[in-house]
Amino acid sequence: MFGQTRDHGTIITIERHILQEQSFHPEASGTLTNLLYDLALAGKYIASHTSRGGLTPILGSTDDVNVQGERVMKLDKLADQAIYRLNDHTGRLAAMASEEHAEILPIPDGYPTGKYVLLFDPLDGSSNIDYNTSIGSVFSIYRRVSESGPGTLEDCLQPGRKLVVAGYLLYSVSTMLVYTTGSGVHGFTLDPSIGEFLLSHPNIRIPETPKYYSVNHGYNKYWSEGVRHFTRYLQGLEDEPNPLSLRYIGSLVGDFHRTLLSGGIFYYPADHHDPSKPHGKLRLAYEAAPLGFIMEQAGGSASDGQQNILDIQPQRLHQRTPLFVGNHELVEKAEEYIKRYD
Ligand code: FDP
């Protein structure tokens, strides 16, 4: 039943791991511990639904009424509600913000507010659902900057450097939860037979030798000169490095997870043909900053092509950004080419 972990064969559940981490901080109140545990719970709930996504043609499509007389909910809406509802009443959060909503999400009246804010992308890569390909959720936790009462937009608009926790859930061949509290990156795999996340990837470090690059080549025509030259570099056509192999799912969490474990770079550059995304497609607060923080904690880095993603002060909740994330040397190379040609 239990898979052995790499840590001396010891089986460590996520709960035990989070508690162990907490014990290194005698001043900790346990709030963050419980918050993380609830996110793991949300992940299990979402995974239990995403794994049945292929049954939609049999069980009913979105907005159909199923055999139990319930309305079938779109998976991204279901994920959004699961994360919000598991966290709205606990007194740990001052506010939340979701990629699915234009404004910040207040804590409902009647519940206490807490010292953290939670930002999340409930179901990233959702255009992949119909093709049975991996999808994910991304979460970020910041300490509030306002004193007390309901959380504010300012609490949610903080640079990635201020992150207290960042993590993601990957719904794929297996379900994984990967997170960092700023002291290393740890990965857990859900054992569906017992419904527990078990530590499978302690202390993840990005391999020094990069293996893959990952980008949507279909948009090559719309990239800047710098990005095109950088891509030729990765292909071994400039400055004579060995070419890297290409992988692209089109699902950020999946592409990021592979990059983290294999070494390499994922990038989604600015797009110079689509006026709706002149600054790239990915969202700074919901996607780029938390993944940048995780990558930095694993020994890599993240940039928008000019500066470290973690140093960018978001101006808007849904602000987009170009993203280059992976091995530090490759991210630096991207910046170099962009500086030289753009
Ligand atoms: P999706 O549109 O399917 O939700 O940010 C959303 C995202 O997916 C990322 O998960 C993914 O990396 C990217 O968009 C894919 O965009 P392209 O189809 O333009 O490559």
Task: Provide the token pair at 82.
Answer: 């699961």
* Helix and strand totals (H; E) in the chain: 9, 15
Cα(86)–Cα(324) distance, integer angstroms: 33
Least confident range from 28-32, 191-195, 325-329: namely 28-32
- 268 CA to middle of ligand 1, Å? 9
Residue pair 88/106 in contact (Cβ under 8 Å)? The answer is: no
Cα(21)–Cα(65) distance, integer angstroms: 44
Predicted local distance difference test score (pLDDT) of residue 61: 54
Instruction: Indicate whether residue 129 lines ligand 1 (CB < 6 A).
Output: no
Ligand 1, pocket-test mutation among 248, 281, 320, 324, most atoms within 8 A of CB: 281
For ligand 1, atom 16, the nearest C-alpha belongs to: 250
Q: Is the pLDDT of residue 1 over 50?
A: no
Ligand 1, pocket-test mutation among 268, 283, 318, most atoms within 8 A of CB: 268
As a whole number, the mean pLDDT across the chain is: 90
Predicted local distance difference test score (pLDDT) of residue 175: 97
Q: Is the pLDDT of residue 101 over 70?
A: yes
Cα(94)–Cα(149) distance, integer angstroms: 7
Q: Is the pLDDT of residue 329 over 50?
A: yes
Instruction: Indicate whether residue 282 lines ligand 1 (CB < 6 A).
Output: yes
Instruction: Indicate whether residue 252 lines ligand 1 (CB < 6 A).
Output: yes
128 — pLDDT class (breaks 50, 70, 90) = confident
Mean pLDDT of the 267-292 span = 87
Predicted local distance difference test score (pLDDT) of residue 66: 52
Q: Is the pLDDT of residue 290 over 90?
A: yes
What is the tens place of the pLDDT at every residue in 161-174? 999 999 999 999 99
Nearest to 266 by CA among 252, 280, 287: 252
190 — pLDDT class (breaks 50, 70, 90) = very high
Predicted local distance difference test score (pLDDT) of residue 150: 95
Beta-bridged to residue 301, according to DSSP, are 326
What is the tens place of the pLDDT at every residue in 44-74? 999 998 887 666 655 555 665 555 555 556 8
Ligand 1, pocket-test mutation among 80, 170, 251, 256, most atoms within 8 A of CB: 251
Instruction: Indicate whether residue 292 lines ligand 1 (CB < 6 A).
Output: no
Task: Provide the token pair at 157.
Answer: 């608009």
- 126 CA to middle of ligand 1, Å? 8
In one-letter notation, the amino acid at residue 155 is: D
Residue pair 120/98 in contact (Cβ under 8 Å)? The answer is: yes
Instruction: Indicate whether residue 56 lines ligand 1 (CB < 6 A).
Output: no
H-only helix segments in the chain: 14-23, 31-50, 56-59, 75-87, 153-156, 225-234, 252-262, 289-297, 328-341
For ligand 1, atom 15, the nearest C-alpha belongs to: 250
Least confident range from 2-11, 27-36, 98-107, 124-133: namely 2-11
- 159 CA to middle of ligand 1, Å? 22
Q: How many CB atoms lie within 10 A of CB 16?
A: 14
Instruction: Indicate whether residue 125 lines ligand 1 (CB < 6 A).
Output: yes
Instruction: Indicate whether residue 133 lines ligand 1 (CB < 6 A).
Output: no
For ligand 1, atom 7, the nearest C-alpha belongs to: 125
For ligand 1, atom 14, the nearest C-alpha belongs to: 125
Share of the chain above pLDDT 90, in %: 75
Beta-bridged to residue 116, according to DSSP, are 93, 143
Least confident range from 65-74, 179-188, 210-219, 268-277: namely 65-74
Cα(36)–Cα(65) distance, integer angstroms: 33
Instruction: Indicate whether residue 124 lines ligand 1 (CB < 6 A).
Output: yes
Instruction: Indicate whether residue 216 lines ligand 1 (CB < 6 A).
Output: yes
Q: Is the pLDDT of residue 122 over 50?
A: yes
What is the tens place of the pLDDT at every residue in 330-340? 999 999 999 99
- 285 CA to middle of ligand 1, Å? 15
Predicted local distance difference test score (pLDDT) of residue 106: 97
Ligand 1, pocket-test mutation among 75, 123, 124, most atoms within 8 A of CB: 124
Share of the chain above pLDDT 70, in %: 89
Q: Which atom of ligand 1 is nearest to the CA of 287?
A: 5
Q: Is the pLDDT of residue 289 over 80?
A: yes
Q: Is the pLDDT of residue 228 over 90?
A: yes
Predicted local distance difference test score (pLDDT) of residue 69: 57
